């Protein structure tokens, strides 16, 4: 019979055999959580319900570049040797389609129904450092101001977070230059790092400690902790992209008429993929629908995108009619005016918008191009 560690305290690090991740999955399910984690689906690693270790993309990795994503076998048994995929945790906390209310005409007049189901209890398994930052960005947007978005707040409060620190860098990642990874920030219930044969598990909260008390594990050694630091440094060093964030909001604001916006508009399809895959883009629209008989109506919230013409349709016309205006709005909001609105960056360096842009537009290249001419102009003046 295996020995179980005493109830570990917050802040402690444990070593856990990889097969015992199943014990943790079972404990989470026993505690009433639906575990959402990475799975292979349609040639990509997506987030869906995970019930057993067999569901995880063990032995898979992803190859990512501008407009390019492929899965490859690694020829080993690594559990988490891939990075971010086309979807993110946003879809569970801020669903793409949400019914806000329904009305039905009855003999007794209109009957209104407001959704009052309890929020789903999700345990997110495999939250990367950049995506943990993205959740904190959404927290700020939806719950950090005067008006709190109740649906988001309820889901977020019910969510258990298991971060997994990246031990490989994706081809389009640039979190190291943004200060958003690969080391996970505080805030997760548990933080995993995968080493060759074990997971090192850092305990972030009392709930995390209570769960880990049900899993066979031992205290992590100094060697384990040094290996974690070494793997994170190696991941950061191997990141091929970077975004120089020095004075970035001011740089973009003083270059709103830069010719680069015209160049990128020649390529941009205004498809909105970048906003759909982005873990922090939160814009939505609300539509009222009725049936043909006029007896039922529903108010539904949908994700929207600043790349659609309808997004700025006001008083008979769209305000941002050109691709240039829409791309510039998106990029300057992410990297500049988000600071004015929320006191933080709207970009966490996950690289999804680069990978999933069908024409391979790369925001790090766009900013670099603007910075080069801005610097040359300022040095010449």
Binding interface with ligand SF4 (CB under 6 A): 268-274, 277-280, 307, 327, 334, 347-353, 357-359, 361
b/e per residue, 73-84, with b = 16+ CB within 10 A?
A: eeeeebbbbbbb
Element (H, E) at 33: none
Q: Which is nearer to ligand SF4, 189 or 362 (CB)?
A: 362
Q: Which is nearer to ligand SF4, 143 or 329 (CB)?
A: 329
Q: Which is nearer to ligand SF4, 209 or 353 (CB)?
A: 353
Q: Which is nearer to ligand SF4, 132 or 211 (CB)?
A: 132
Tokens 């020995």, located at residue: 3
> Quick one: tokens of 282?
């939160």
Q: Which is nearer to ligand SF4, 212 or 347 (CB)?
A: 347
Q: Give how far the C-alpha of residue 292 lies from the chain's centroid of Cα atoms, to the nearest Å.
A: 39
Q: Which is nearer to ligand SF4, 213 or 344 (CB)?
A: 344
Q: Which is nearer to ligand SF4, 204 or 346 (CB)?
A: 346
Q: What gap in Å lies between CA 60 and CA 75, rounded to an integer?
A: 8
Q: Which is nearer to ligand SF4, 186 or 358 (CB)?
A: 358
Q: Which is nearer to ligand SF4, 35 or 348 (CB)?
A: 348
Q: What gap in Å lies between CA 282 and CA 95, rounded to an integer?
A: 10
Least Å distance between CB 172 and ligand SF4?
A: 8
Query: Distance of CA 26 to CAs 20, 44, 208, 377, Å?
Result: 10, 25, 14, 60
Least Å distance between CB 254 and ligand SF4?
A: 21
Q: Which is nearer to ligand SF4, 61 or 364 (CB)?
A: 364
Least Å distance between CB 190 and ligand SF4?
A: 23
- Planar angle of CA 31, 96, 264, nearest 5 degrees: 130
Q: What gap in Å lies between CA 142 and CA 284, rounded to an integer?
A: 12
Say which residues have a Cβ less than 8 Å from residue 315's Cβ, sequence separation at least 6: none
Least Å distance between CB 250 and ligand SF4?
A: 19
Least Å distance between CB 168 and ligand SF4?
A: 17
Q: By the 8 A CB rule, do 47 and 37 touch?
A: yes
Least Å distance between CB 131 and ligand SF4?
A: 9
Say which residues have a Cβ less than 8 Å from residue 352's Cβ, sequence separation at least 6: 84, 86, 88, 172, 274, 277, 278, 279
Least Å distance between CB 366 and ligand SF4?
A: 9
Q: What gap in Å lies between CA 229 and CA 223, rounded to an integer?
A: 10
> Quick one: tokens of 168?
């490989």
Least Å distance between CB 354 and ligand SF4?
A: 7
Phi-psi region of 294 (alpha: psi -120 to 50; beta: other; left: phi over 0): left
Q: What are phi and psi of 126, to 5 degrees?
A: 100, 35
Least Å distance between CB 68 and ligand SF4?
A: 13
Say which residues have a Cβ less than 8 Å from residue 321's Cβ, sequence separation at least 6: 309
Least Å distance between CB 42 and ligand SF4?
A: 19
């Amino acid at each position: 019979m295996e020995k179980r560690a005493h109830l570990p305290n917050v802040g402690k690090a444990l070593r856990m055999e990889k097969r015992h991740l199943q014990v943790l999955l079972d404990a989470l399910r026993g505690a009433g959580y639906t575990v959402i984690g990475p799975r292979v689906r349609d040639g990509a690693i997506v987030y869906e319900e995970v019930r057993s270790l067999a569901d995880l993309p063990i032995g898979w990795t992803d190859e990512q570049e501008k407009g390019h994503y492929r899965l490859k076998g690694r020829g080993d048994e690594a559990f988490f040797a891939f990075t971010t995929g086309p979807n993110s945790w946003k879809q569970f906390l801020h669903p793409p389609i949400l019914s806000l209310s329904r009305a039905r005409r009855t003999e007794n007049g209109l009957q209104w129904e407001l959704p009052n189901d309890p929020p789903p209890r999700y345990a997110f398994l495999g939250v990367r450092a950049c995506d943990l930052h993205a959740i904190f960005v959404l927290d700020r947007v939806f719950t950090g101001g005067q008006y709190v978005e109740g649906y988001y707040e309820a889901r977020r409060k019910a969510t258990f977070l298991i971060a997994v620190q990246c031990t490989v860098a994706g081809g389009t990642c640039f979190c190291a230059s943004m200060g958003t990874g690969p080391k996970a920030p505080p805030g997760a219930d548990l933080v995993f790092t995968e080493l060759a044969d074990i997971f090192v598990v850092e305990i972030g909260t009392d709930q995390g400690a209570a769960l880990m008390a049900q899993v066979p594990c031992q205290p992590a050694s100094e060697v384990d902790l040094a290996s974690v630091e070494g793997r994170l440094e190696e991941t950061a060093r191997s990141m091929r992209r970077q975004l120089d964030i020095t004075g970035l909001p001011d740089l973009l604001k003083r270059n709103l008429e830069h010719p680069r916006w015209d160049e990128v508009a020649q390529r941009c399809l205004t498809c909105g993929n970048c906003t759909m895959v982005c873990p922090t883009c939160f814009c939505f629209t609300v539509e009222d629908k009725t049936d043909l008989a006029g007896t039922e109506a529903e108010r539904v919230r949908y994700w929207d995108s600043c790349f659609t013409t309808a997004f700025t349709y006001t008083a008979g016309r769209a305000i941002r009619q050109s691709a240039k205006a829409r791309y510039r709005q998106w990029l300057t909001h992410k990297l500049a005016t988000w600071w004015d609105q929320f006191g933080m960056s709207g970009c966490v360096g996950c690289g999804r918008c680069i990978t999933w842009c069908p024409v391979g537009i790369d925001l790090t290249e766009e900013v670099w191009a603007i910075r080069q001419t801005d610097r040359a102009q300022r040095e010449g003046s």
